[in-house]
Structure 1
Amino acid sequence: MEKMKAVVYHKKGSPEKLIYEDVDKPVPAGNEILVKIHAVSLNAADYRSMQLRLIPRNKIFGADISGVVESTGEKVFTFQPGDEVIGSLVDYGFGGLAQYVAVPENALIKKPKEISFAEASTLPVAGITALQALRDKGNISKDDKVLIVGSAGGVGTFTVQLAKHFGAEVTAVCSTKNVEQSFALGADEVLDYTKENFTQKTKRYNIILAVNGSYPLLAYRKALETNGTYVMVGGSYLQLFKSLVFGWLLSFGGKKMKHLMAKELNSDLEILAELTARRIIKPVIERHYPLKKAAEAMNYLKQGHSSGKVVVDVV
């Protein structure tokens, strides 16, 4: 059987239990597409799944891919060899840290020519999370005052840009090294959390998005306008647990405390791809790694200090 290079999880492997090795190249079923992967971006879902021992069946992580259609099954009619595509493999067993992956055709959309493969790979999980948090949970409107706690990283950088696209007044919270970046992405005000605390200020917000940050739920609630909405979109396991368990208890009066479980929708991915092609939003990629150094890339992301997306270049 034909072989390919992939980064495979081994329980006793090191570093990070991810080993660069030869595996069988997948063969697409009737309703599947074989994609030659050009780039895959990493997400917290990758290393958190690993920590929870939620290992993909093929033991290959990586969900957000971009690449070129290599071949198609006989039941595929939407795509043809040579098409450039973007996709999320979250609902299809992951498998992105490899030279090829076979996925159902509904996992993919066509990639606009104006977007690079690396940029395209950043859009699915982080971009969709930002979009759904603002639009669906936050019900964002023009001139809303939006606070983004954790404006760096993958989700944060998309959230700042999308909030400005929707016409909001954006306040970003980040560390010193990311202040200039947040301004460059369009934030109207940037708070350096090492020097000032938004919970001690009098300003109130229509929407607060908690991407990163260990502030108490009551502090978030206090910073909301009377009919404001708080949305938890990331953070530690403890923060997520508190939001899920206690958020509804604090959703009284006009203030709402919500938690987002993003859904990987092709319609939303197409919106993001179009906005990126038009340069209304621009993916922020902090680091590139070759496939053989994916373990190093995963370890860096896990440290929680990235200023943008981490991309593994396969081709």
Structure 2
Amino acid sequence: MKAIVYNQFGSIDVLQLIDQLKPTVKAGQVLIKVKAFSINPMDWKIRKGNMKLMSGSKFPKHTGADFAGIVEQVGIGVSNLKKGDEVFGVVKNFMKEGVSAEYVAVTAALVWKKPEHISFAKAAAIPIVGTAAVTALKKMGNITSKTKVLVNGATGGFGMFLLQLLKERDAIVTAVASTRGIEFAKRWGANTVMDYTKENVLTQKTTYDIVIDLSGKMSYRNAKSILKAKGKFLNAIPTPLEIPISFLNNLFTSKKHIVILASPSSKQTEVLLNSIHKGVEIEVNKVFPFAQYKEAYQYAEKGGYVGKVVVEVH
């Protein structure tokens, strides 16, 4: 089978398409014929060596964490899936595993049946960012129709789900997006949308109960100025150092600094699937064929697009 691997940390140039043996299925696993996988910022952070402490430096490495495809084979002890099922899912340890191949063997507990009304490309876009959005909601605490939330960097994959989940809960949402993301942010439920190329949210006089940064460009120090006295700042793209720093910050102020560390689970996916069946929209900005994997990563890393970027395998 064909698989994308890399044997050293670096730019997209280290990625190679090679021939590998099809993986064997262990107990509790399923073999998936991959139809599509999505690209997440963590993919290139790991590939560039930024996450060495967690990913380790053992090569070769694969890339990609979430996928959609068709069950090819079922391992011992798996009863909820069968050959031919159309599914989507995620690897157990995306720091050390990857799905950028024609076939992958994955833990059956992290594989779910694909909703019939969505494509494989859209299904592949769900797990990582969708789970992160559900985790963020939980970290926000009790959300009511009076809760004022600012979502910075609101129209990537994470924001796409978060805005729609916040709308379900009647929060008062201000979205900060690029010019091309404004209409999407409105459609996904934001009450107010700010174009960051024209306005600076930090110089406005409005304060918020919750500020969540999905862009990696707003620090806790900056966010404090627009937080209410007992407000919360959530960082969805923390650096390894930020975890202990957030703990220290919280000892000395009522304005809380919260790091989001999402780990996909069935409970979170059930929340997502319930919302998807109710009509939550999944925007796939661009789909690349497998052979154009380098162009796909180059496009994704450049940023500035709305929704998700997906690679189709079969």
TM-score normalised by length of structure 2 = 0.90
Instruction: Give SS of 1:91's match.
Output: coil
**1:177-207: CA deviations, max 9, x gaps?**
2222211222111111121111111111111
Task: Say if 1:123 and 1:273, in contact at 8 Å, map to a contact too.
Answer: no
Amino acid at match of 1:290: P
Aligned match for 1:44, one of 12, 37, 41: 41
Give the corresponding residue for 1:80: 82
| Structure 2 match to 1:262 | 262
Match among 95, 98, 103 for residue 100 of structure 1: 103
Per the alignment, residue 18 of structure 1 pairs with 15
Partner Cα separation in structure 1 for residue 10 and residue 151 of structure 2: 38
Whether 2:211 is the aligned partner of 1:208: answer yes
Give the drift of 1:81: 0.5
Aligned ranges for residues 1-315 of structure 1 at < 5 Å?
A: 4-11=1-8, 15-52=12-49, 54=55, 59-91=61-93, 93-134=96-137, 136-143=138-145, 144-234=147-237, 237=239, 241-242=241-242, 244-246=244-246, 248-249=248-249, 252-279=252-279, 281-315=280-314
Report the alpha carbon displacement of residue 231 of structure 1 after superposing the two structures with TM: 0.5
- What SS class does the counterpart of residue 24 from structure 1 fall into? coil
C-alpha distance in structure 2 between counterparts of 1:277 and 1:58, whole Å: 39
Structure 2 gaps of 5+ residues are none
Q: What amino acid is aligned across from residue 265 of structure 1 in structure 2? A: S
Distance in 1 separating the partners of 2:16 and 2:149: 42
C-alpha distance in structure 1 between counterparts of 2:143 and 2:251, whole Å: 20
CA RMSD between the two structures:
2.3
Partners of 1:270 and 1:313 in 2: CA distance: 25
Cα distance between partner residues in 1 of 2:262 and 2:9: 32
SS of the residue corresponding to residue 41 of structure 1 reads: strand
Separation in structure 1 between the aligned mates of residue 251 and residue 9 of structure 2, nearest angstrom: 45
Residue 5 to residue 199, structure 1, CA distance change in 2 (3 Å): same
Q: Is the 8 A contact 2:131 2:262 kept in 1?
A: yes
Q: Give distance in 1, aligned partners of 2:9 and 2:261.
A: 32
Measure the CA separation in 2 of the matches of 1:198 and 1:105: 43
Deviation of residue 104 (structure 1)? 2.0
CA shift for structure 1 position 210: 0.7
Name the CA shift for 1:120/1:226 in 2 (closer, same or farther; >3 Å).
Answer: same
Rounded to whole Å, the distance in 1 between the matches of 2:156 and 2:122 is: 14
- Unpaired runs of 5+ residues, structure 1, are none
More off after superposition, 98-107 vs 88-97: 88-97
Q: 1:129 to 1:167 in 2, by over 3 A?
A: same
Q: 1:249 to 1:13 in 2, by over 3 A?
A: closer
Pair 1:271–1:12, CA change in 2 (3 A): closer
Does the CA-based 8 Å contact 2:12-2:297 persist in structure 1?
no
Q: Is 1:287–1:311's contact at 8 Å kept on the other side of the alignment?
A: yes
Contact 1:289 1:312 in 2 (8 A): yes
CA 1:22–1:213 in 2, change beyond 3 Å: closer, same or farther?
A: closer
Deviation at 1:243, TM superposition (A): 6.5
Q: Contact conserved, 1:171 with 1:188, CA < 8 A, in 2?
A: yes
- TM-score, scaled relative to structure 1: 0.89
CA contact (8 A) 2:92 2:107 kept: no
SS at match of 1:86: strand
Please say if residues 120 and 273 of structure 1, whose CA atoms lie closer than 8 Å, have aligned partners that are also in contact: no
- Identity of aligned pairs, percent? 33
**C-alpha separation between the residues in 2 aligned to 1:91 and 1:256?**
29
Separation in structure 1 between the aligned mates of residue 65 and residue 9 of structure 2, nearest angstrom: 23
Q: How far 1:278 sits from its partner (Å)?
A: 2.3
What secondary structure, in the 3-state scheme, does the structure 2 residue paired with 1:181 have?
Answer: helix
Q: CA deviation at 1:14?
A: 8.2
Residues 80 and 43 of structure 1, relative CA distance in 2, 3 Å threshold:
same
Offset, 1:132: 0.8
Aligned amino acid, residue 303 of structure 1: K
Partner Cα separation in structure 2 for residue 79 and residue 277 of structure 1: 20
TM-fit CA distance, 1:57: 5.9
Separation (CA, whole Å) in 2 of partners of 1:259 and 1:13: 27
Give the distance between the partners of 1:278 and 1:16, measured in 2 at CA.
Answer: 41
Structure 1 stretch displaced more, 217-226 or 59-68: 217-226
